[in-house]
Amino acid sequence: MLRTLFTPDHEDFRRSVRAFVDRVVVPSYADWERDGIVPRDVFTQVAELGLFAAVPEAFGGAGVHDFRLGLILGFLAPLLIFIGLYFARFSDYNFDEFLRTFLSENRLITFFGAWCLVGNIALFTYYINTARDRTARGIFILSVVYGILVLLLKLWN
């Protein structure tokens, strides 16, 4: 099946990553697990390959900004916040029980929805203030989608 989602650049990138993993990670993985550490030079090699592209330049990345990165960040940040809040405040419930309770109580939907949106607002603010408008645009779009989903969940209850 021919994929139309990825460009030739994406395919080249995927091949580069696969070759790096086969050449560097696979042969050394067991040693790293045993020692409990990945050697620092591996991170240098990863950076040279361009895998830290989305990491801000101040932290050694290339500082790439991309609409798709914004969509990914806009999706992941609220998801991680949701999971973090679950473990921090609601871990007495098993996850199935928690989800049933969450979906049935508007106050919980508001609580989680607000914190998830705050996370995206923080990300959006960071990317817009560092002139990474395309990434910020992706985060903004996902924030709007999350906001609409929260409202629909509240109306559905």
Amino acid at 123: L
pLDDT in tens, 31-69: 888 888 888 888 778 777 766 655 556 665 555 667 888
Residue with tokens 């990165």: 69
Domain ranges of the chain: 1-51, 65-156
83 pLDDT more than 60: yes
Closest CA to 112 of 99, 97, 125, 94: 99
Determine which of 44-58, 67-81, 90-104 has the lowest per-residue pLDDT on average.
44-58
Look over the chain and give the mean of its residue pLDDT values, rounded to a whole number: 82
pLDDT value, residue 68: 81
Q: Are 81 and 73 in contact (CB under 8 A)?
A: no
Whether 1 has a pLDDT exceeding 60, the answer reads: no
The whole-angstrom separation of Cα 11 and Cα 93 is 43
Residue 51: its pLDDT value, please? 66
pTM exceeds 0.75, yes or no: no
